[in-house]
Amino acid sequence: MREPNPRLDAIRIGGGLVAGKAAMVLFLFGATLLCAFGTVLAGSAAATLVLDPDLGRLNLAERVEILEDQPGRLTIDQVSSPELAGRFKPHREREIDIGISDSAYWMRFRLVRPATGADGGDPGRHRTWFLEIGKPGLGSIDLYVPRKDGTWLIKRTGAEHSGQPREVLHRSFVLELPATFDEQAFFYLRVQSSISLNFSLLIWTPAEYAAWTIPDFYGFGVIYGILLGMIFYNLFLYVSLRDRVYLYYVLYVSSMLAYQQFLYGQFSAFVRLEPRETMRLFWMTSGLAWLSGILFVQGFLNLKKLAPRANVILILFMTLAVSYALLGILGYDALANLLSRIISIFGPMVCIALASFGIYKGFKPARYFLLAWFILMVGTMLYGISGTFLPRTFVARYGVAIGSAAEALILSLALGSRILALREEKEMLEAQEARLRKMSVTDGMTGLFNKMFFIENLPEKIQRSGLAGHPLSLLMMDVDHFKRFNDTYGHAEGDKVLTALSEVLRSCARKSDSACRFGGEEFTLILPGADRATALNVAERIRTMFSSQCFDVSETGTASAKVSVGLAQLGPDEDAESLIKRADGALYRAKRAGRNRVEAED
């Protein structure tokens, strides 16, 4: 047996400790590398999307990693370098929802085509795919496609490149992916815009994309057709009725139609203008939509009469609309966007509140108005939160368009209801005015026309008779000894006498004649178309009928009353004053001749 050697044993123990420490270091280093490699693999796997043609549509937003480029000056070489790889953050939402930002944003992802099949076939390796950035109006969109030789294929689109033809003609921005690319490298998508960065990021097969665009085109065709129909229909009504509210409605719906052409991208897709000109038109139509809409609200609800204080609020909103439109036209897009969001949030609320107040005040058409603005507000809210808080369904995607079409239809019904309400109010006022007018020219006791009517009506009848070449006669009559009858039997019995004479006049007068109480116990009868002989017959019939009546003046006795009548036929070029004077002279002649008789002026 070997004898123990303390020194050698110490060396062996020390060497074992060193070896153990070295092994521990190697283990920790390896574990660190494994974790790092696993992290890289996990990140790469999360950013990889298999282009499976059987799916037709793939959501890329859930697979991208995002890097914020706050100055907006990073290049593709810098972004794709290892130094910045760790700054990319995974994105797991259904849609990109960054919001309003001055920064540029880089999104990277990997695309992998399906593996070759067992039979050697290649089901998806050479298929064409479309990348859709699903929000019209985004400023700058640059796609960097990795080539196998290490270079980049660059594709540019966006509102800032609106003067260039699009690879795929559609309202949103669509780029065609090349048949070959480096599947081991990242794609890079750079997006920068002054509007809100919330959009879908989808990859389509051409067949699936075409199948989706067909109902999209038809849907907007129906919606825009409804708006155009309402525009022309109400423009015709404005020309016919000359009611400014219809003009405001036409301007509002026309502006909304133009605004939606920009909002949903149809204008930019089919009209090539410089980017700045397109944005100017966008802000102009948006501001005009709010301005004309507020004027429509003001006129429709008649707020100057219904709620004068509300005009202050509406003037504030009109000022905001004009202000943000001018700011946008001048190029201050960020500030214009802020003001437009303020008016878009609070504007519909104010309109709904005013409509509710109109209903409270009894204005029935305000019910349609309230429903119309509520539908538009719901549609706008659905459009704003779709893809983030709600799935991007058909109704949510087309919320503004559907809401505006429904609003236009309901507001048109509201205008019709308003016409009926105003017509009913007008007819009621006209009937009330007619009653007041009739009361003003009618004697309260007898129901005949009064002296004011006689003074106004006789010259008109004389003028018409002169123009037609027809005769005209005037009868003036007075109850004989009426004061004595009143003093003997009382005023109540005297009133019965006057009422009886008025009934006789009414029964003897034709529709064209005018029987009037001239004052007290004196009456007149204008006889258009009656010559002297005809007028004498009428006067005699009146005298006879009235004189034959008896009045119960007491429980045991009766009394009668008589009437004297003077007649004058209209002479050539004679006026009303002269005719009255001659008829009155004939009446006094009948009085002097014994009363209860008819005298005619020669």
Which tens digits make up the pLDDT trace of 230-266? 999 999 989 988 889 999 999 999 999 998 898 888 8
The SS3 call for residue 362 is coil
Question: In this model, does residue 29 exceed pLDDT 70?
Answer: no
Residue 32's pLDDT band (boundaries 50, 70, 90)? very low
- Specify the higher pLDDT residue, 325 or 369: 325
According to the model, what pLDDT value does residue 201 have? 95
The predicted pLDDT at position 273 comes to 82
* Of residues 506 and 127, more confidently modeled: 506
pLDDT at 54 over 80: yes
Tell me, what's the pLDDT at 164?
77
Please name each of the domains of the chain with its CATH number: 49-114+124-204 (2.60.40.2380), 214-428 (1.20.1070), 451-601 (3.30.70.270)
Q: What is the DSSP string of 543-576?
A: HHHHHT--EE-SSS-EE---EEEEEEEPPTT--H
Task: Spell out a b/e string for 158-197, using b for 16 or more CB atoms within 10 Å of the CB, else e.
Answer: bbbbbeeebebebbbbbbebeeebbeebbbbbbbbbbbbb
The mean per-residue pLDDT over the stretch 528-546 comes to 95
Work out the number of other CB atoms within 10 angstroms of the CB of residue 540.
14
CA–CA distance, 595 with 547 (Å, rounded to integer): 11
pLDDT exceeding 90 applies to what percent of the chain? Answer: 49
Please tell me the predicted confidence (pLDDT) of residue 390: 64
pLDDT over 60 (residue 122): no
pLDDT higher than 60, residue 36: no
Q: Which run of H or E residues covers position 58?
A: strand 57-59
Give the pLDDT of residue 10: 35
Q: Residue 11 carries which side chain, given as an amino acid letter?
A: I
Please state, rounded to an integer, the average pLDDT across all residues of the chain: 85
State the pLDDT at residue 444. 86
Q: What pLDDT is attached to residue 496?
A: 92
For residue 2, the SS3 value is coil
pLDDT of residue 46 exceeding 60, the answer is no
Contact 96, 198 (CB under 8 A): yes
Residue 508 is predicted with a pLDDT of 94
Point out which residues pair with 141 in neighbouring strands. Answer: 157, 191
- Compute the half-sphere exposure of residue 132: CA atoms within 13 Å on the CB side of its CA: 25
d(CA 176, CA 182): 16
Residue 23, pLDDT > 70, answer no
When pLDDT is cut at 50, 70 and 90, the band that residue 141 belongs to is: very high
The whole-number pLDDT of residue 565 equals 97
Longest alpha-carbon distance in the chain = 186
CA distances from 290 to 294, 333, 342, 365 (A): 6, 17, 12, 21
pLDDT > 90? residue 20: no
Q: How far apart are CA 390 and CA 401, in angstroms?
A: 18
Question: Hey, is 386 helix, strand or coil?
Answer: strand
Q: How confident is the model at residue 14 (pLDDT cuts 50, 70, 90)?
A: very low
User: What whole-number percentage of the chain has pLDDT above 70?
Assistant: 88
Reduce the secondary structure of 513-552 to three states and give it as a string. CEEEEEECCEEEEEEECCCHHHHHHHHHHHHHHHHCCCEE
pLDDT in tens, 198-223: 889 999 999 999 999 998 889 899 99
pLDDT at 12 over 70: no
Q: pLDDT at position 61, please?
A: 94
**pLDDT at residue 391, rounded to an integer:** 64
Range 152-180 average pLDDT:
89
Q: What is the pLDDT of residue 17?
A: 30
Tokens of 74: 């990073």
299: nearest Cα among 429, 411, 427:
411
Question: Which is higher by pLDDT, 290 or 271?
Answer: 290
Rounded to 10°, the helix 244-263/206-241 angle is 170
Task: Say whether pLDDT at 13 is over 50.
Answer: no
pLDDT at 74 over 50: yes
Highest average pLDDT, of 306-310, 436-440, 539-543, 556-560, comes from: 539-543
pLDDT at 44 over 80: no
What is the DSSP secondary structure assignment for residue 170, as one 8-state letter? Answer: S
pLDDT digits (tens, 9 = 90+) for 76-92: 999 999 999 999 999 98
How many Cβ atoms sit within 10 Å of the Cβ of residue 289? Answer: 23
Q: What would the two tokens of residue 331 be?
A: 């190029």
The rounded distance, in Å, linking the Cα atoms of 481 and 486 is 9
Which of 269-273, 303-307, 411-415 is the most confident on average?
411-415
Q: Are 415 and 362 in contact (CB under 8 A)?
A: no
